[in-house]
Structure formats: structure tokens, C-alpha cells
Structure 1
Amino acid sequence: MGEIALTAVMAALSDPIRVGLVRVLADGRERGWGELRTPVAKSTLSHHLRVLRDAGLTRTRQEGTRCFVILRRPELQARFPGLLQAVLAAAEEEDIGHRVSVKDAEQPA
């Protein structure tokens, strides 16, 4: 995996849905794509996840027909110390990405 470029990271974080996905993934847990709740169609969610992956913000793992995503927090912290924390704090303060969440375990998919 190549170097994470600042311009790619900043471009990826220019969309509220992608910021919301980063907020959800910031807990460090790997999530199945089906667990993610967004106000967009599945194809649009797939696009947003691809943008985050291509920018180096996330890593995607496929297991059979399921895909899992995790935030590359250690790599981002090493490359851009404090950037992720600043983005998450600003997103929280400005309520950016609040429409993205994780489905409850009891909720049917």
C-alpha cells in the first residue's frame, strides 16, 4: 500500500457522508458493509467506501460475499499526527455526518 497523500485524504473528507463513515469507524472496530446505515442507496454507499479506501483512510477485506471495512487509524496518525482527531472533533462540534450510524445487533438487516 502506497503513501497516504494529504490531498487525497482531504478530498475524501469533503463529503458529509464520508465524514460520517469515518466517525462511525473511529471506534476501531471492523464493520461489515451491511452494518452501516446511511441515507444513501447501496451503490452510493459503495462509492463512498471506495473513495475512502482509495484515499488510504480505510482498509477493506472481503470474506466470501461479505465486505468489511476498518479505519486505518494507526497509519493516519503516523502520517498526519493529530489530523484525524481534529477532523473528528470538528465533525462532532459541527454535527457533520450525524446521519450515518451502525445498525443495532437486534435490528434485522
Structure 2
Amino acid sequence: MSTSPDLPHPERSEISLTTVLFALSDPERLAIARQLVDGPLDMAECHLSNPDVPKSTKSHLMKVLRTAGVVRNEANGRARRLSLRREDLDARFPGLLDAVLSAEDDGPKP
């Protein structure tokens, strides 16, 4: 039985504010992070606002979140399990995650 490879994740001390803010600045990535607030989900259970987004794009969104230190992406059998790195983010930037995840979308006004 083959297992999925371990993916690299930044150590808590390596998580930077600008990288986290960049990762959460995209509406789709922010939506994924918000889905993980109540606990881990299999990657297949995380949905995007546009269901026609290619699998490769969804994978890229997940990679940006993982490499920024926002989520942990671990093998779960043949699937991938995503979890929010709340403890690490709260330790590095107290209150940031709650502020960003609970903010209303106030996109550009015409």
C-alpha cells in the first residue's frame, strides 16, 4: 500500500506576517481557511465558490496556504487532510486569524 508523501510545512518561527496576509488575500483561499475553522477536513470536502475550477488550481490554492503556514496538509489514507494552524498563527500573530477570518468582504467599491 502506498502512502501520500509528506509535504513540507514551515516551522512556527518561519511563518511571516506578509506571507500569511498574502495567502489570505485571495477570496478562494480565504474561503478555504474559513471552512477549516470548525476543524480539519479532507481536501475533497473543501469547496470553492466556483465548482468548475480545475483540480490543478485548487491544488495551487492549497499549496499557497500550506507554504504560508496557514494550513497543515497531511496524508489521510489516500486523501489529504487539511487543518488550520490556529495554534501556530495565534502564537506568532495574536488575534490576526480571528480578525481576518471574521472580517466582512468589503471588496472594491465602484
TM bin (shorter chain): 0.7 to 0.9
Shift of 1:95: 7.3
1:1-109 equivalences under 5 Å are 1-2=10-11, 3-27=14-38, 29-38=39-48, 39=50, 40-90=53-103, 93-94=104-105
Q: TM-score, normalised by structure 2?
A: 0.78
**What whole-Å deviation, never above 9, does each CA across 1:33-66 have from its counterpart, x for those lacking one?**
1111211222111100000000000001113321
Q: Which one-letter code corresponds to 2:73 in the other structure?
A: T
Unaligned ranges ≥5, structure 1? 97-109
Q: 1 or 2 for the larger relative contact order (CA 8 Å, sep ≥6)? A: 1
Aligned-partner residue type, residue 32 of structure 1: D
Q: Which has the larger Rg?
A: 2
Paired residues, number: 93
* Aligned equivalent of 2:4: none
Alignment TM-score, normalising by the size of structure 1: 0.78
